[in-house]
Amino acid sequence: MHYALVFSTSTQPTSIESRSTIKLDASAWLTDLNGHFAFLQPYTNVNWLDPGCAAEIMCQPENSFTAEDTTNNSDFQALRHAAAARHLDVNIVPNNERQKKLLIADMDSTIITSESLDDLAEMAGIGDEVAAITQKSMSGEIDFENSLLERVAMLRGQSNRLFSNLIAAAELTPGAIVLVRTMRANGAKCYLISGGFDFMTRPVAALCGFHDHHANHMHVDAGKILGTVETPVLDRKAKASYLAHYCNIHNIDITEAVTIGDGANDLAMLKAAGMGVAFSGKPILRDTISIQLNHTDLRGLLYLQGYHKDSFISG
């Protein structure tokens, strides 16, 4: 099978000034790593997807190589470790059907830069207590539903004006709008599926251009947060169910879907999709999900699909 070996970064992009410099940069960028990826049997020269930020090399490794299991491949892990030391992500994806027809994205710490419930608690003056529970939940140490109900209960009696404050303070992750609008322009269906709350997914989805959004709903009465959530809670299983649902209604094979998220709540949908991507993933994802973006913003998901910068649709 033919694969694309993709190197990318947003952390320390290479500086380029002219076309001749691009070639020199490509050589300098990858020469030190060449010995680490020789086992993948590369057969093309480097191709820049985004000069200075993303490049790909076509490979045809031995039949025993399995791209879905690189977390257990010592040679690939050595390559990834060497690339990470240079602030680079390295991933390998099948070269066929790279451009996906369906995007399912997590919101907190993926499409936006922070955990919205933690930020809401911070505004309410109970940030440390809630954040500690969130950390355990996202790492898979405690059950997501129980942790969500516990954290929301701690907000009981707070004004729902905090919702507007939170929306105003939220920041999109760099590349979020470009990711969604570029995929939509190329015919993909895009959905924001969050274990967070719909008061936040609604404006975020609209700003980025998602077709629709799904999240939990926090009960409010007379301007006060009641400390309860509509059930059933949107959890790990629900995210995977939405993936299957949208594949079904759009007649898209699950191999043609891409999912992206950062925590334990995203694990099932990342494993199920044709391309599941851990975005600055918690340890549970880094240990189990083969495709990882740790040094690249959300444009990295476009590079993985073979998009060139010239085809990006900006906000």
Same domain, 29 and 18: yes
For residue 19, pLDDT over 90 is answered with no
Same domain, 116 and 227: yes
263 closest CA partner among 138, 148, 132: 138
What percent of the chain has pLDDT above 90?
84
What is the distance between the alpha carbons of residues 40 and 42, in angstroms, rounded to a whole number? 6
Same domain, 89 and 115: no
What is the distance between the alpha carbons of residues 237 and 130, in angstroms, rounded to a whole number? 23
DSSP class of 14: P
The catalytic position among 106, 118, 119, 266 is: 106
Strand pairing report for 89-94 and 3-8:
antiparallel
Same domain, 63 and 109: no
Among 14-28, 37-51, 75-89, 123-137, the least confident range:
14-28
Each residue's pLDDT tens digit, 245-294: 999 999 999 999 999 999 999 999 999 999 999 999 999 999 999 999 99
Domains of the chain: total: 2
Does residue 108 have an active-site annotation?
A: yes
Same domain, 89 and 180: no
Q: Across residues 179-198, what is the average pLDDT?
A: 98
Same domain, 104 and 78: no
Same domain, 42 and 132: no
pLDDT at site 180: 98
Location of structure tokens 């390998």 = 92
Among 54, 74, 96, identify where a domain stops.
96
Helix, strand counts (H, E) of the chain:
13, 12
Same domain, 63 and 146: no
Each residue's pLDDT tens digit, 86-127: 889 999 999 999 999 999 999 999 999 999 999 999 999 999
Same domain, 72 and 142: no
Same domain, 111 and 74: no
Does residue 118 have an active-site annotation?
A: no
CATH code for the domain of 64: 3.30.70
Which one has a higher pLDDT value, 244 or 30? 244
The catalytic position among 25, 50, 108, 118 is: 108
Same domain, 113 and 204: yes
Domain span at 153: 99-315
